A and B are shown apart, each in its own frame.
Chain A
Amino acid sequence: ETGVTQTPRHLVMGMTNKKSLKCEQHLGHNAMYWYKQSAKKPLELMFVYNFKEQTENNSVPSRFSPECPNSSHLFLHLHTLQPEDSALYLCASSQDEGSDYGYTFGSGTRLTVV
């Protein structure tokens, strides 16, 4: 357990489904991130939230919709996904957006779109 908890660990969904990924941290961090990890590719930043405000959307398609109700919780709402969206989705947090003390990652949600 890293201090950042992601649920579910695994998710299989059809292209017409709607599902949500959840991330929770109680480390007192103010910044939270969603990353996409595909095989043999660098981690791709999707969204950044700092003090509950979205500070970055890295040209992510609108079928991915983030929500940050408070500094401890981050959601990624999914709808009408494509098979190429199958990947490991990682949530991370840090003290602040510019923290030098490293990110704490969750174990990820392995998403398969069928």
Chain B
Amino acid sequence: DGGITQSPKYLFRKEGQNVTLSCEQNLNHDAMYWYRQDPGQGLRLIYYSQIVNDFQKGDIAEGYSVSREKKESFPLTVTSAQKNPTAFYLCASSGGISGGSSYNEQFFGPGTRLTVL
């Protein structure tokens, strides 16, 4: 079954610690995205990557970092510099630059709820 997996579902960390959220897809999509969802604010783009070894900042990249060493994987690190890291984090992918029917639609993973204590 093709899809996007995010792990873990729930994550707790102490303030001041870096934490890395996993995102893996087997849809053969070129593009991958990270969003955070806060109550009443919809989905805000953190980082995105159109192709391996390349990524761009989204609207709220401060305090976050990413890597894209493999097409299937796009991990997000929430650093201690992120002032309000407690949120629901969503990873998505789309056909990206290869085009095709999945170019316009983004497919989402189940999300990770991060709570910083």
Say whether A and B bind each other: no
Q: Residues on A close to B: CB < 8 A? A: none
Q: Residues on B close to A: CB < 8 A? A: none
